[in-house]
Structure 1
Amino acid sequence: MCGIVGIVDSGGVSLPIYYALYALQHRGQESAGITTYDAGKIHKHKAQGLLSEVFDQEILKKLTGRTGIGHIRYPTTGENRPENTQPLNFTLKGHYFSIVHNGNLVNNDVLVADYEEHGHIFATTTDSEVIAAIIARELTLSGSMEDAVVLCMRILQGSYSVIAMLDDTIYAFRDPLGIKPLTLGRTEHGYMVASESVAMDTLGATFMRDVKPGELIKIDEHGISCRQIMKANHTALCLFEYIYFARSDSVIDGVLVYDVRRRIGEQLQREAPVDAEMISPVPDSGMSIAVGYSEASGIPFKEGLIKNRYIGRTFIMPTQTLRENAVRMKLNPIRGHIQDKSVVLIDDSIVRGTTSRRIIDLMREFGAREVHFRVGSPPIRAPCYLGVDLPTRQELIAHNREHDDICSAIAADSLHYVSLEALIAATGHRPEDLCYGCLSGCYPVSIPGEHAACRHIDFVHGSYQTELQF
């Protein structure tokens, strides 16, 4: 996941970056950081914790400048260590270079080994530093950031949306398959890039468009320029952005996430209707799915669970114990709504199943007569290697389990997952333009230890497989 932001604005950027990251806090809760450039110097602050815990007014005042980048971290590659907190900051031949990254490289270990073989020392365990190393080396050879991005797109395998700051200039680029989102907007006195369009809404900025897969965006005091570095014959947009990750009010690759989730709910009702008395979401990502189910069924939508807004997303907490213990703190049933009622409970997904079981147990404890579970994604049967910290196959409740066994394990009266075909149709994208490896075990890129990529991808510009030249 992770949330990234880059802004060039003559009115100053520290507060705008802070507010933009606040809009993206749902994408990561481990750490936060901001780096700005001002008059030949960089100013930086980063630490582990939520954005509001890492920054205050005095810290933001010190982050002067009209160019800056920021990051909210959700860990995939790289342990929960302070040195992995981004932005990563470097000096290079008298220049300042900083980078933030959302995604996950599947050839990270190979690239690290190549660089270490040639004497490069890494200070972190995150794959973002590998991207920085590739860019830095090419900058020393050619002096061209565009050439460096071309090299990245030729040798990096996996998912990456990257924002880099070289002195007072922002460079943003997205992998040729567009696996992770990246959007472009106009601020009052400049331009910005961010993971989701809601970051722009928060600032009153104008959402212009999505950064195209394989595109490089350059932003400086003179304005904006765009270059298509590499283009594939189709994309591999992350399907889970629409199911869970993105905020419902975000526009991801031209599609409003709320509308996708509402259509998922409508299709769930068509596939598995229930004679129940109320439709209730598991907040928050189940909310708009439940709206669609309620509209299609005519059964009243009523909140059976209230979320404590001061508890973060349990899915992205670092350990299973924390996730399970957080359920009671995060969700409290409304006894007056659910007592003696037959409830259709709507959630976005089931991963390990332990959280779903705890929620259903809570509903019964507070008096629900029946709990019918409806899920806005198909069964998750495989890990994700492209930016989602899903567990191993053995930990996934849907791995090698029959439908009735899953229903029994979570103690639901009935269970239905939306079909993959209906889910894809709800996004409005072609099946070949989406990545749903966690649902099918078929990935858009070759994964070590997995079957070869299930689909052939041609690249119009350059080559996806290129060896480093030292």
Structure 2
Amino acid sequence: MAAELKGLNEECGVFGIWNDSEAAQRTYFGLHSLQHRGQEGAGIVVRNQEGQLKIHKGKGLLADVFRCPDDLAQLIGPSAIGHVRYGTAGNRGIENIQPLLFHYLQGDVAMAHNGNLTNAVSLRRELEKSGATFQSNSDTEVLMHLIQHQKGPTFIEKLKASLKQIQGGFAYLILTKDALYAALDPNGFRPLVIGKLANGSYVVASETCALDAVGATLVRNVEPGQLVQIDHHGLQISNFTTKTQLSICSMEYIYFARPDSNLYGVNVHLARQRMGQRLAKENPIKVDMVVGVPNSSLSAASGVAEQLGVPNEMGLIKNQYSSRTFIQPTQALREQGVKMKLSALKAVIAGKDVALVDDSIVRGTTSQYIVKMLKNAGAKSVHLMISSPPLKYPCFYGIDIEHTRELMAANYTVSEMCQKIGADSLHFLSLPGLIEAIGLHQDAPNDGLCVAYFDGKYPTPLYDYEKDFEIPKTANDFTLSAMAQVEEK
């Protein structure tokens, strides 16, 4: 995926299942299909017949964490939740790898979270003053301590009261001895779906591709502000708040979600294809061929080629077995990782005018390297076409864009970017074009999409982050000097 090369990463993927004889195995397969959402760590918690919870987790890819057959075989029970992690809040220690497991006199509780809480620091400070002891520095743990501090008579009442206190982006799975719970933030920044197996067991996952992997049929999306409870009574859905407004992250459609997933009824591959078509329609350049950056840009590249009426060629070859480059500590090592991962097909591109399609530009260093690679392979000219608008603003809802210094488009004009990258021309998809291409068609601003990374208009207050700079009323007020204060934090 092109995002692997650039260092732009989704936080996590979650999967849960209730009342299935092969709960741990299905959770493993579900998480495997969600591996693109996190490669830093993985874990599974299983609830046995007595209501006790058992966990296995570790650093690395799912296959590394569950390397031995016994790692999975020891997780015996009819219900489970699992997690694959790429962390944006908290460090990369084993204590932050999820699910998090808590032992209480009333019974064990396990929790998995996808997203980022914008008021976690303030809540944690207050909880610690009240005597709470945290076992990790992940924002995920805040919710569990809030639940323990509530005075409601039942767990679900305590959970609802706690969910009202947290802010930001969150998709939670919680497993207890009595039920599996799923909750989505009031804006639905992260996707979450419910499926059902032929045996009647319910499944909850970040994407529909995970349902397909375990043979489950989609039942419905978890809607913003909803709390799902699955137990021996079946599926029950309620709202912990009615103050909701869908703002699903547009980056899910651009590159995070798998092409075979459907988000709110929109297929990701077809959305990306329409982005490419709209990009080429807005920028009708003359080239001999289109080349997409493997893998997440291939759908958009097919749309660009169709609109321009030129061949869609495999001009870049991806080594599927190379190491992941975004975890490398230095830029020199990241560039070496790109060289290991991609190579240009000289026989195809030599002497040709090439439209190079990618999903985004973050730092710009990878784009620069790929353009140079194509030209060294004999390309007559390289015209870089990006199937999203310029990334100019930080994300606070669960994606690791925290500083404007990381974003090339926040610091340079398009013409300056083009010159630094070394392309013959540089073209971005417009924001209206992106919204129309995705085609969510929801009765909400931007058709129900969060596009704050492009226009700086955040759909919620930013709480803890607002203490570092004044949040603007409009995107024009969101100055780079204001955001620089965040960088100095």
Both proteins in one fold, TM over 0.5: yes
Find the counterpart in structure 1 of residue 418 from structure 2.
407
- TM-superposed deviation, 1:215: 0.7
1:122 to 117, 130, 134: 134
SS at match of 1:398: helix
Change over 3 Å in CA distance of 1:249–1:360 after alignment to 2? same
Distance 2:331 2:147 in 1: 36
1:69-80 correspondence to structure 2 within 5 Å: 69-80=81-92
- Note if contact 1:444-1:453 (Cα within 8 Å) is conserved in structure 2: no
The TM-score, its normalising length taken from structure 1, stands at 0.93
2:114 to 102, 108, 112: 102
Distance 1:319 1:146 in 2: 46
Find the counterpart in structure 1 of residue 4 from structure 2.
none
Asked whether 1:392 is paired with 2:403, we answer: yes
Equivalent AA in structure 1 for residue 437 of structure 2: A
Asked whether 1:227 is paired with 2:238, we answer: yes
Distance 1:233 1:93 in 2: 35
Where structure 1 has 5 or more consecutive residues not aligned to the other structure, the ranges are 456-470
- TM-superposed deviation, 1:319: 6.1
- Note if contact 1:37-1:168 (Cα within 8 Å) is conserved in structure 2: no
Once the two structures are superposed, residues 270-301 of structure 1 have per-residue CA deviations (whole angstroms, 9 ceiling, x without a partner) of 11122111111101110100011111111001
1:194-273 correspondence to structure 2 within 5 Å: 194-232=205-243, 234-273=245-284
Once the two structures are superposed, residues 388-410 of structure 1 have per-residue CA deviations (whole angstroms, 9 ceiling, x without a partner) of 00141122111131111000111
Find the counterpart in structure 2 of residue 373 from structure 1.
384
- TM-superposed deviation, 1:367: 1.9
Distance 2:219 2:333 in 1: 39
SS at match of 1:89: strand
Change over 3 Å in CA distance of 1:194–1:422 after alignment to 2? same
Distance 2:139 2:33 in 1: 25
1:134 to 142, 146, 152: 146
Asked whether 1:148 is paired with 2:158, we answer: yes
- Percent identity of paired positions between Structure 1 and Structure 2: 40
Change over 3 Å in CA distance of 1:384–1:370 after alignment to 2? same
Once the two structures are superposed, residues 236-289 of structure 1 have per-residue CA deviations (whole angstroms, 9 ceiling, x without a partner) of 111111111101111112211111111100011111122111111101110100
- Note if contact 2:225-2:244 (Cα within 8 Å) is conserved in structure 1: no
Equivalent AA in structure 2 for residue 30 of structure 1: E
- TM-superposed deviation, 1:181: 0.7
1:18 to 4, 14, 28: 28
2:185 to 171, 175, 194: 175
Change over 3 Å in CA distance of 1:121–1:373 after alignment to 2? same
Once the two structures are superposed, residues 95-130 of structure 1 have per-residue CA deviations (whole angstroms, 9 ceiling, x without a partner) of 110000000011111011001111111111100011
SS at match of 1:155: coil
- TM-superposed deviation, 1:135: 2.2
1:157 to 132, 146, 167: 167
- TM-superposed deviation, 1:359: 1.3
1:438 to 453, 464, 469: 453
Change over 3 Å in CA distance of 1:179–1:65 after alignment to 2? same
SS at match of 1:351: coil
- Note if contact 2:111-2:172 (Cα within 8 Å) is conserved in structure 1: yes
Equivalent AA in structure 2 for residue 108 of structure 1: A
Change over 3 Å in CA distance of 1:27–1:233 after alignment to 2? closer
Give the total of aligned pairs: 453
Where structure 2 has 5 or more consecutive residues not aligned to the other structure, the ranges are 1-10, 475-489
Distance 1:8 1:182 in 2: 16
Change over 3 Å in CA distance of 1:153–1:225 after alignment to 2? same
- Note if contact 2:53-2:109 (Cα within 8 Å) is conserved in structure 1: no
- TM-superposed deviation, 1:454: 5.0
Change over 3 Å in CA distance of 1:162–1:347 after alignment to 2? same
1:304 to 312, 315, 323: 315
- Note if contact 1:92-1:136 (Cα within 8 Å) is conserved in structure 2: no
1:322-341 correspondence to structure 2 within 5 Å: 322-341=333-352
Distance 1:314 1:442 in 2: 31
SS at match of 2:276: helix
The TM-score, its normalising length taken from structure 2, stands at 0.89
Once the two structures are superposed, residues 67-92 of structure 1 have per-residue CA deviations (whole angstroms, 9 ceiling, x without a partner) of 10000001111011111000000112
- TM-superposed deviation, 1:6: 0.6
Change over 3 Å in CA distance of 1:452–1:153 after alignment to 2? farther
- TM-superposed deviation, 1:10: 2.7
Distance 1:233 1:104 in 2: 18
Distance 2:176 2:472 in 1: 35
- Note if contact 1:84-1:124 (Cα within 8 Å) is conserved in structure 2: yes
- TM-superposed deviation, 1:306: 1.5
Change over 3 Å in CA distance of 1:305–1:69 after alignment to 2? same
Find the counterpart in structure 2 of residue 427 from structure 1.
438
CA RMSD of aligned residues (A): 1.7
1:56-71 correspondence to structure 2 within 5 Å: 56=67, 57-71=69-83
- Note if contact 1:26-1:313 (Cα within 8 Å) is conserved in structure 2: no
Find the counterpart in structure 1 of residue 289 from structure 2.
278
- TM-superposed deviation, 1:312: 6.3
Find the counterpart in structure 1 of residue 480 from structure 2.
none
